[in-house]
Amino acid sequence: MKTVSRVLAAAAAAMIIATPMAMGAGKYRTPEQHNWSFNGPFGQYDRQAVQRGYQVYQQVCAACHGIKHLSIRHLGMPGGPFEYLEINGERTRFPNPNDNPAVVAIAEDLFPIEDIDDIGDVIERPRRPSDPFPYPYANEAQGRAANGGAYPPDLSVIVKGRHYGANYIRSLLMGYDQEVPEDVDVRPGNYYNPYMPGMLIAMPPVLMDDMVEYADGTPATIEQMANDVTYFLAWAADPHMESRKSMGFMVMGYLFILALLLYASYRKIWSRVKH
Amino acid sequence: MTDENTPEGGGETRRDFIHIAAASMAAIGGAAVIWPFIDQMNPAADTLALGTTDIALGELEEGQEVTIMFRSMPHFVRLRSASEVEDAANVQVSSLPDRLARNRNLDDNAPATDDNRSALTAEIADGVEISDDLRRSLLVTSASCTHLGCVPTEGAGEFGAWFCPCHGSHYDTSGRIRRGPAPENLPIPPMTFISATTLRLG
Amino acid sequence: MSGPSTYEPKTGFTRWLDSRLPIVRLGWDSFVDYPTPRNLNYWYTFGGILTVCLMIQIITGIVLAMHYVPHIDYAFASVQRIDRDVNFGWLIRSIHAVGASMFFLAVYMHIFRGMYYGSYKAPREILWILGVVIYLLMMAAAFLGYVLPWGQMSFWGAMVITNLFGALPLIGEPVTQWLWGGFSVGNETLNRFFSLHYLIPFLIAGVVGLHIWALHVPGNNNPTGISVKTKADTLPFHPYYTVKDGFAIVVFLIIFAGFVFYAPEVLGHADNYIEADPLVTPAMIVPEWYLLPFYAILRAVPDKLGGVILMFAAIGVLFILPWLDTSKVRSMRYRPMARWFFGFFVVACLGLGWAGAELPDTMVPGLGALGVDFLLFGRVLTVYYFAYFLVILPLLGFVEKPSPRPASIEESVLNGDKPAKAGAAPAAQPAE
């Protein structure tokens, strides 16, 4: 059985290594690895970057891309970018996003939401933290019509919904400034982007230097904005990552101790018999 | 051959200790794992966040009542007539079955006077002007009978306000229990006047 | 369940209960004083691990059903809500999703162990067949469950698998429409899949009960394949195997938790985080890893009906395995030739999994120079898969000369798990 186990392990390893090659039809360039703050078993979100990324999303992406699975209050949830605020120079935690002044301010600044008042009239009222973010289209057909037939995907879970996740999003956003190879035929309404499967994308290059003004004074280069908005989207796709990892650390520690105790108990019990 | 087939042979304490430690550790883990499975049934974050409901008061006429939903529960909004307010104000608190106001805008031990039950207790947002008479005549209470949760019928019962058809609880024009099996006055939600004609619950 | 019961109720209440509902006696005889061969290795802990897997899947599944909405307009959003807003929803869904993979990982170990040590051979044929039934039900549950999040892979996986039935002559179209409840995969399909996905785990639990029953009548097989002869061959299940299984379960849970907390998405497909779109098929549809070998067998045949038949035959052949293996010796520990063919069989299964994950016309790395693409690769391995069952095992029983075996489990234990030395072994081995 020992030989068999070894062969099994080797074959399993070969399969795992081989899997990425199975992804997607059409050629594309493998995205660049970036050193994200959330990489690794102890990685956390860089909240400043997520905040800046939200600003980029709102000022640049939101015109075409919705985040329909998020509500505004999520920005202030535990693990969210606005959970802690600097109030009079002190870092203050807001356990309830509904009371979070930054979240409330963001909600009120957004496009008003349609609602029905208590006598049945359709009204527009300012958004509250419990409301969803405004969606750019009433329906998919409208979204296609507004974008030359290509429907801009929802970005709520885009980082989980793409191979290579955050690295892909970042590389894609920075990947426009490339020379078009001769064998690629860029049709009208398409742009060359080597990171997109098939290398053609309907989204025009959107990021330009200094197109947003960061509140914290960070220079808004294309790379900075691509990094930041990817941080935001990574958080949006996996908002519980930090509690997941910290809980994982405790669970693993517990299981290791339990395994050791059980192993000691097992050895003790089996020491009575030859086996 | 050192075969000992009896599972409980021997009595060294170290051996016992290691088994007890392993079993206790496993029990601790088992207990800790239960919590997420219990907590998942508590209201989720989106449910908790649906905190507020705005009521437009402009359309409400004296003596009129509407039932609105607040946090998935029906609530009565009643613009009481002067005589209804007077009836309620003349009742001695000491004669009530439940002497507490049950008003989320007040302390838990506030007495159940009519002023303590009406929208006089509502917060007023900065810069909003609203007359005391209007506030006094406005009553917002839960529409769930404090007995077992039925919605009382408007304008019925011995006190001219609400009567619960399920088990016969009578409420007065201040939403206080006066007779019947219900133990408490109808509770009053947190209220804020955010404009002269809009009351926000929550 | 096998042999006379050793349970003796000690208190008045237990005596009272025992004469009315002997449930304590059942538990005692099955899991406390159950005589278990003393030489079971760690490959034998997967039965206990699988029980834990089934319990985890049922408990987390019931919880998820409290929050999930089986409607095409809300399913994806309700899964997002579970991940974002439900208290510990992200954890419970992650356990359930990873748990499906861990369940299959354990069941494959369990099946391969049974095949290596000949646990399917008489008198354990029914036990083996019940196991194959459980495996079939698991595949159905996994497929149905994968449809529920209503992502792209859910939708197109459902489309492809249900369309397999369209290969049936004459009744193909009515059967697929019957499965769908419409003219394509739609809301009706999602609703019935949810209902069936909730049902099947309880069927599995029932068959697991029969499986354990059928195990406890002849008793466990063991790495030597030699039947238990005397009491010296066995140990009481508790505490010897409770603690060994317990340790193995915790080690398994460490791997499980590693996935849940540090790589919850690695076993799934990114495309399933894109909401189902009946207008756009993902660039590449592949099933979950545990179904890939069957997918490769399906694609190995150029004909649609032929592929479907062969894929079901790949599972069907497992049912008759007890009668295909003609050897008198159970354990491959003493079968020098069968051991190698079995090793190749395991590699072939892994290779089929690999072939199932790749596009058929891409070249196999390292074999591209020989012109071997994954289609050919899959075909060769498919041939071996069936040959193993239908040719090799039936013939080996006549061709192979088994190596000497110990006279009893006890003797094997004393010899340190080595086969008895030549000459020391009894000359004639009666049927075990």
Question: Looking at residue B95, which CATH number applies to its domain?
Answer: 2.102.10.10
On whether the CB atoms of residues A178 and A194 are closer than 8 A, the answer is: yes
Name the range with the highest mean pLDDT among B112-126, C152-166, C246-260: C246-260
Which of A2, A3, A4 is the best substitution to test chain C (most C C-beta atoms within 10 A)?
A4
CA distances (Å), A60 to each of A110, A202, C92, C395, in order?
Answer: 14, 16, 35, 70
| Element containing residue A247 per DSSP (H, E) | helix A241-270
% of chain C residues with pLDDT over 90 = 85
Q: What residues of B are in contact with residue C231 (Cβ under 8 Å)?
A: 5
Nearest Cα residue in chain A from B26: A258
User: Closest to C116 (Cβ–Cβ): which among A1, A23, A251?
Assistant: A1
Instruction: Give the tens place of pLDDT for each residue, A203-212.
Output: 999 999 999 9
How much is the mean pLDDT over chain C?
92
Is the domain A27-178+207-249 a CATH 3.40.50.620 member?
A: no
Sequence-ordered list of residues with C-beta below 8 angstroms from that of C122, at least 6 positions apart, any chain:
C322
Can you tell me whether residue A25 is helix, strand or coil? coil
Which of A235, A255, A268 is the best substitution to test chain C (most C C-beta atoms within 10 A)?
A255
Average pLDDT over residues C1-30: 88
The closest of C223, C351, B52, C307 to A1, measured between CA atoms, is: C223
The residue segments making up the domain with residue B158 are 47-201
Q: What residues of C are in contact with residue A22 (Cβ under 8 Å)?
A: 284, 286, 357-359
Ligand-binding annotation for C216, yes or no, is yes
Whether B68 and B20 map to the same domain: the answer is no
How much is the mean pLDDT over chain B?
85
Q: What is the pLDDT of residue B134?
A: 87
Does the distance separating the beta carbons of B40 and C66 come in below 8 Å?
A: yes
DSSP line for C61-83: HHHHHTT---STTTHHHHHHHHH
- Name the residues of B annotated as catalytic: 167
Average pLDDT over residues A57-75: 95
The verdict on C270 touching A (C-beta cutoff 8 Å) is yes
Whether B29 and B81 map to the same domain: the answer is no
- Residue B5: inside a domain, yes or no? no
Nearest Cα residue in chain B from C87: B40
Instruction: Give the tens place of pLDDT for each residue, B77-97.
Output: 999 988 888 888 888 888 899
Domains held by chain B: number: 2
C-beta neighbour count of C50 within 10 angstroms: 22
Q: Where are the domains of chain A?
A: 27-178+207-249, 250-275
Enumerate helices (H) and strands (E) in chain A, giving the number of each. 7, 6
User: Closest to C84 (Cβ–Cβ): which among A25, A69, A270?
Assistant: A69
Shortest CA gap C155–chain A (Å): 15
Q: Where are the domains of chain C?
A: 31-280, 286-324+336-401
Which of B5, B33, B47 is the best substitution to test chain C (most C C-beta atoms within 10 A)?
B5
The verdict on C262 touching A (C-beta cutoff 8 Å) is yes
Sequence-ordered list of residues with C-beta below 8 angstroms from that of B28, at least 6 positions apart, any chain:
A254
- Give the model's confidence band at A26: pLDDT under 50 very low, under 70 low, under 90 confident, else very high: low
Whether B75 and B30 map to the same domain: the answer is no
- Give the model's confidence band at C430: pLDDT under 50 very low, under 70 low, under 90 confident, else very high: very low
Sequence-ordered list of residues with C-beta below 8 angstroms from that of C383, at least 6 positions apart, any chain:
none
User: Closest to C243 (Cβ–Cβ): which among A19, A239, A269?
Assistant: A269
Does the distance separating the beta carbons of B1 and A73 come in below 8 Å?
A: no
Amino acid, single-letter form, for residue C172: G
Amino acid, single-letter form, for residue A22: A
**CA gap B147, B179 in Å, rounded:** 12
Shortest CA gap B120–chain A (Å): 22
- Residue B154: inside a domain, yes or no? yes
Ligand-binding annotation for C238, yes or no, is no
Instruction: Give the tens place of pLDDT for each residue, A89-130.
Output: 889 998 888 888 999 999 999 999 998 776 678 989 889 898
Q: What residues of C are in contact with residue B15 (Cβ under 8 Å)?
A: none
Whether B65 and B105 map to the same domain: the answer is yes
Sequence-ordered list of residues with C-beta below 8 angstroms from that of A151, at least 6 positions apart, any chain:
A140, A143, A144
Which subunits count as partners of chain B given 3+ CB pairs below 8 Å? A, C
Whether B30 and B121 map to the same domain: the answer is no
pTM exceeds 0.95, yes or no: no
Instruction: Give the tens place of pLDDT for each residue, B5-60.
Output: 444 444 455 558 899 999 999 999 999 999 999 999 998 888 888 767 778 888 78
Task: Please give the CATH architecture assigned to the domain spanning C31-280.
Answer: Up-down Bundle (1.20)
**CA gap C295, A15 in Å, rounded:** 15
Burial class (CB within 10 angstroms; exposed 0-12, middle 13-18, buried 19+) of C285: middle
CA distances (Å), C275 to each of A63, C234, C278, in order?
Answer: 21, 55, 10
Phi, psi of A4 (to 5 degrees): -60, -45
- Residue B180: inside a domain, yes or no? yes
User: Closest to C265 (Cβ–Cβ): which among A4, A160, A249?
Assistant: A160
Per the annotation, where are the binding residues of A for heme c?
Answer: 61, 64-65, 203
